[in-house]
Chains A and B, each alone.
Chain A
């Protein structure tokens, strides 16, 4: 078991290194010099050069890369070109919006998907199943930003239950903060819940057709007991991977939703940084998101090994 974790950890570190190289390369290859972008079309040559020196852009790519990476390991994510403030601070502020939003959306998604998927699997082929399948088909087809717009029209503009956008800081009241995250979380959760329901349903149906379920029935377990005692635990294994993937997607996928709802999260940060050619911020935030995804995958892999003893011996 320990060897399994060890090998996965090595994999994680290698992936992070490769990811950092790729991110750095993509951003650096892009056309357009941040300094001239910031100063505008009419800027003088030497002003641009001075700014470049100040931002450290005149150093060669290799040393800039190493400065960036070694900095990140120590927690220093560099200094924003646009705002001249530490990127680490900007990230910490925004994380308090993006992380809760992702978790909130994940919670809603799971709370809907699990009962729906289990119900559909037990009612397979009957009308209950068809209803769930039909609903999820729609859920997957709806673009989440469009759904967000509809939600705002109905619940914010017409019913006035929620505000149309903006985020209430955590210090000003937890309840208000959660309220301002609710419509965005629902918008994000809709397609995810639809996908997760289907995954839950098919994982459970697959598990229920296994031979050991037949053995359990032959032992005397009733249909319901078989689902709870035997099938669900085994069916959860593939479902867990999807939840892990969804969490990663929610952290990053909220980029558009944060625009719609004017939420000061990581997505909005990286979007603005892209438009402002604030390369350092872009690189660092993307690196952080990739780190989050890879780490979540690692956790899921380890959970797999705990749940499925067949994986423990193989390295």
Chain B
């Protein structure tokens, strides 16, 4: 008998349909993954199961938990189910925890809420749970506040809260999306262990197909609020029926067609023994400030025509290095030269050779400016009046080059989707025809199908414009598809470098090996598409 059965769930906000005909069953000890791109309705389904959908949303359909229909239950009974019988794990561990209570408190209060245990036995129980999720020594961790823990540790706390009362079902909404690849691997392993030990039924929501392939027994693919395909994992991968599933899978495995380019012998960008550090806030009034070294003795070159990747997890120093290359960050030791000019002393004639595309399609643009104003901003670096002629034509051409239309230049940025905004960001970077572009996690915030299109675009334009680029990403599959050579960064240092193929297939450094192993892989068994 299935522990959870959902029949024809329908969710509407006003006239808009958010979810339609959602049906599935889940048995104990099994993991069902709900996957799809943003806006597909995965999170709404999760919230609806525990009846925490938005107040103005109308829910229809039936949800059976343990043979009891729960959509019509009153709040009091639902409160008894939530937390005790159905546990929930959310995406952002930092904001999911109350910042002013210790983590021990937050686990303990769940126990006290649902059982008749007194404070002391709840305390003992809390320590056991902390150990179980890998936060050891538990007596130390229970006193910590959320801001004192790392992202992975916080997520373990959230998991601890979810499993505290040995629920029958756990719903995990993008539990590892905000975490580093290595941490993600650990958290997923923890979840798998708990599911087996406690015979829990888990609904795992994630946009990452590779994670799904690793973890799930059954997969439901969602698009626009509807489940388009649902099947056991091996069956699904061998035999995809729905065209959307196929395109999703194709995009995840997408290998960009990198045209062969000619690499000059002279270096465009030289980074020599660069160290960047900044002062930490003083913790004692009269002591000297400590320094944090973000970039430590880094050296590498990028030649004209090269496509180089930089791999690193958060905190490795890649953002500081990016800003240093752009001349926006003070350099403590060493030198960065572009076209043989020191970047810190460079004039606009040198600076105009480097441009950048950022990660966040929503924060990269001034919301009050029209697209044409946004795109032509780099022209501020062009002092030659001849080049500045016909700016409007140049704007239109570059918009068409990136796959948009010339009339888009009069629109405002909020009229565009994430993928379209990144195209505009690329247009802004290319309009003054720089020699080097830095792509700083430029596709990390995009859905997988859009990501594939943008990567194709970048490869094509790089060849057309004769660009060199430095592509920074934490995602190994992206690096694999779009770079010829790559460097691996950790704790401010470059710990490995070589051709992309060699680094990813025959890593020498232990950390690189960990990174590669930790990254979830899509299965190789599939029919030819």
Touch between A and B in complex, CB under 8 Å? yes
Binding site for B on A (CB under 8 A): 3, 6-7, 210-212, 214-223, 229-230, 233-234, 307-310, 313-315
B92 touches A308 (CB 8 A): no
A118 smallest CB distance to B (angstroms):
18
Is the beta-carbon distance between A222 and B52 smaller than 8 angstroms? no
Interface residues in B276-308 (C-beta closer than 8 Å to A): 281-285
| Chain B residue with the shortest CB-CB distance to A231 | B98
A314 touches B281 (CB 8 A): yes
Q: If the complex has contacts A223-B75, A230-B98, A310-B147, are A218 and B52 also in contact, measured as CB distance less than 8 A?
A: yes
A-B contact pairs, 18 of them (CB 8 A): A3-B283, A3-B285, A210-B95, A211-B90, A214-B90, A215-B96, A215-B97, A218-B50, A218-B83, A218-B87, A220-B84, A221-B79, A223-B75, A230-B98, A234-B98, A234-B99, A308-B99, A309-B99
Instruction: Using CB atoms, name the residue of chain A closest to B52.
Output: A217
B33 at the interface (CB under 8 A from A): no
Given A6-B285, A315-B282, are A307 and B81 also a contact pair (CB < 8 Å)? no
Closest B residue to A6 by beta carbon equals B285
**Chain B, 95-136, CB within 8 A of any chain A CB:** 95-100, 109-110, 113-114
The one of B113, B145, B285 that contacts A219, using a Cβ cutoff of 8 Å? B113
A210 to chain B: which residues have CB within 8 Å? 95
What is the size, in residues, of chain B's interface with A at 8 Å between Cβ atoms? 33
Chain B, 76-97, contact with A by CB distance < 8 Å: what is the 0/1 string? 1001111110011010100111
Q: Which residues of B contact A3 (CB under 8 A)?
A: 283-285
B75 touches A222 (CB 8 A): yes
Q: B113 to chain A: which residues have CB within 8 Å?
A: 219-221
B158 within 8 A of A: yes
- Which listed residue (B99, B114, B282) contacts A310, Cβ 8 A? B99
Chain B residues contacting A309 (CB-CB under 8 Å) are: 99-100, 145, 147
B195 at the interface (CB under 8 A from A): no
Shortest distance from the beta carbon of B106 to any chain A beta carbon, whole Å: 8
Q: How far is the CB of A117 from chain B (nearest CB, A)?
A: 20
Contact B79 A215 (CB under 8 A): no
Q: Is B161 an interface residue (CB 8 A)?
A: yes
Which residues of the other chain, A, contact B76 by a CB distance below 8 angstroms? 222
CB-based contact B83/A219 at 8 Å: yes
Q: Which residue of the partner chain A has the closest CB to B87?
A: A218
CB distance from A34 to the nearest CB of B (A): 43
C-alpha spacing A218/B79, complex, angstroms:
8
Residues of B within 8 A of A (CB): 50, 52, 75-76, 79-84, 87-88, 90, 92, 95-100, 109-110, 113-114, 145, 147, 158, 161, 281-285
Q: Does B145 lie within 8 Å of A7, measured CB to CB?
A: no
Is A211 a contact partner of B95 (Cβ separation < 8 A)? yes
Query: Which 7 residue pairs spanning A and B have beta carbons closest together?
Result: A220-B83, A211-B95, A219-B83, A218-B88, A220-B82, A212-B98, A220-B79
Enumerate chain A residues within 8 angstroms of B52, measured Cβ to Cβ.
Answer: 214, 217-218
CB distance from B288 to the nearest CB of A (A): 14
In the bound assembly, the distance between CA atoms of A268 and B145 in angstroms comes to: 49
- Cβ-neighbour of B96 out of A211, A221, A222, A310 (below 8 A): A211
* Most-contacted residue by chain A among B52, B84, B98 (CB, 10 A): B98
B81 A215 Cβ-Cβ under 8 A: no
Q: Which A residue sits closest to B161, measured CB to CB?
A: A219
- Cβ of B283 and Cβ of A212 under 8 Å apart? no
Bound-complex Cα distance A65 to B449 (A): 74
Cα-based distance from A211 to B173 in the complex (angstroms) = 13
Residues of A within 8 A of B161 (CB): 215, 219
Chain B residues near A234 (CB-CB < 8 A): 98-100
Whole-angstrom CA separation of A184 from B448 in the bound complex = 66
Min CB–CB distance B14 → chain A (angstroms):
15
Q: Is the CB of B97 within 8 A of A212?
A: yes
Kindly identify which residue among B100, B110, B282, B284 contacts A220, using a CB–CB cutoff of 8 Å: B110
Q: Are A222 and B83 in contact (CB under 8 A)?
A: no
Q: How far is the CB of B172 from chain A (nearest CB, A)?
A: 12
Across the interface, B285 reaches (CB within 8 A) one of A7, A221, A229, namely A7
A265 vs B281: C-alpha distance when bound (angstroms): 45
Closest partner residue, chain A, to B282 (CB atom): A315
Given A215-B90, A219-B110: A315 and B285 interface contact (C-beta under 8 Å): yes
Q: Which residues of B contact A233 (CB under 8 A)?
A: 100
For B87, list chain A residues within 8 Å (CB).
218
Tell me the complex Cα distance, A215–B93, Å. Answer: 10
